[in-house]
Chains A and B, each alone.
Chain A
Amino acid sequence: MEAVAEAAEPASRRLGLTPGKRRFLLGLLQIPILFGIWWIADVAVKAGHVPIPGGVAGLFLLWGLLGTGLIPVRWIRGGAKHLLDHLLLFFVPPMLALINHPELLGWMGLKLLLAIVVGVPLVMGGTALVVELGFRWTSRRDDDER
């Protein structure tokens, strides 16, 4: 994997690519590494009958690999940035499944919208106030210790 990523460097320089384009292409070449980690994790959770999805298991695996230095961040940074930057493109197809659910465009859709419109401020306000209280409490404690 490293051989691929590093062989791509001088080749792209010979082709006269700008640093920006080179970084872009290097990122694309790194996506198969992330695909490989996901695949290994997916096979492992299925074989071990672990109920968590392969993607989440792969996240923990990569987190561990980066933390222990078994995989240097530079091998995956560009590829991970590409995938996260364009995340919303990948869930456009599932979002369009709404076409198969015309019942949601009527009364039920309004109810769902109401549930979201009421729920979101509750989640936001509640989370922020609790974290704010926690922050004030811990910073006061830190001041006392000082």
Chain B
Amino acid sequence: MMMSAESLIPMLWSAVTIALYFASRRLHRALGKWWSSPMLVTWIACGALILAFHTTYQDYLRGTGWMITLLGPATVAFALPIHEQRALIRKHWPLLVVGVVVGSAIAFGSSWALAAALDLPSNVRASLLPRSVSTPFAMAASAKIGGLPELTASFTAVTGLFGAAVGDLLLARLPLRSSFARGALLGMGAHGAGVAKAHEIGQEEGAVAGLIMVFAGLLNVVIASFVGVIY
């Protein structure tokens, strides 16, 4: 069966995105700066190519939509770190609960207050609320409370990038003696990027950050789901 050139173009965008992603990972390994983050580089490079070729986002998505489908199984995969850290959870669950509940409350409250003070439209405001948790959870929560999940993906990315950059400054200034507090700071404030940073600091920081991130994601989605039903 012959495939027309036109039907191949969407698949080409998948290949371009994946190639840029792996190239930017290599670049980041070589440079190691916050601005060389593979997420930022792939995002900007892909965006520049789409604009340069006058492709519409709908056409780009036709070729790459299957990647978004993988966010479902990837969310399921978060059960692995939870299972592997079950000893830590059993021993320190009250601290984890406190961190996740307080962190999520501050994240929701501050986002809501700032968005109201800055007079942002309601769908943008709803997209901003769940941005402190890992992207697949944030997008799912956003969809439930009337936000635009694709905008939430971008806000979450900026949160992670900025959080990883500012995390070092805060860690240096706050009087934190426990690896728990350091892990909670990074996992709650900068989700995936923060967890990566926490693993650089220490094993326990990394494990705590990872757990805080996943549980905050779960709490956000579950609350957003039930809020969505009430509305």
Q: Report A's interface with B, CB cutoff 8 A.
A: 31, 34-35, 37-38, 41-42, 51-56, 58-63, 66-67, 73, 76-77, 79-81, 83-84, 86-101, 104, 108, 111-132, 134-136, 138
Contacts and interface: CB of A to CB of B under 8 A. Distances in A.
B174 A83 contact: no
Contacts of A58: 72-73, 75-76
Contacts of B136: 55, 87, 90-91
Contacts of B139: 91, 94
Interface residue tally of chain B, by bracket? 35 or more
Interface in B191-210: 192
- By DSSP majority rule, is chain B's interface helix, strand, loop, or mixed? helix
Given A41-B76, A92-B39, A136-B178, 12 more contacts: A53-B225, A63-B83, A67-B86, A83-B70, A91-B153, A92-B42, A96-B47, A120-B166, A126-B106, A127-B212, A131-B180, A132-B178
A37 B120 contact: no
Nearest to B193: A88
A104 B150 CA distance: 13
Interface string B139-152: 11001100011110
Interface string B42-58: 11001100110000010
A34 B73 CA distance: 5
Given A53-B140, A73-B80, A119-B110, A83 B73 contact: yes
Contacts of B119: 111
A99 B77 CA distance: 30
28 contacts: A37-B76, A38-B73, A53-B143, A62-B79, A67-B86, A73-B83, A76-B80, A87-B134, A91-B135, A92-B17, A92-B64, A92-B67, A93-B65, A99-B57, A101-B151, A113-B158, A119-B107, A119-B132, A121-B170, A123-B103, A123-B189, A124-B163, A124-B185, A127-B99, A127-B106, A128-B176, A128-B182, A132-B176
Contact of B158 (A88, A116, A128): A116
Contacts, number: 287
Contacts of B175: 132
B126 interface: no
- By DSSP majority rule, is chain A's interface helix, strand, loop, or mixed? helix
Interface string B113-124: 011001110001
Given A83-B70, A115-B128, A38 B76 contact: yes
Contacts of B190: 120, 124
Contact of A116 (B159, B180, B181): B159
A84 B74 CA distance: 6
A68 to B, nearest CB: 11
Given A89-B18, A115-B128, A56 B222 contact: yes
A102 to B, nearest CB: 11
A104 B51 CA distance: 16
Given A88-B39, A95-B153, A138-B94, A123 B110 contact: yes
B79 A116 contact: no
A56 B137 contact: yes
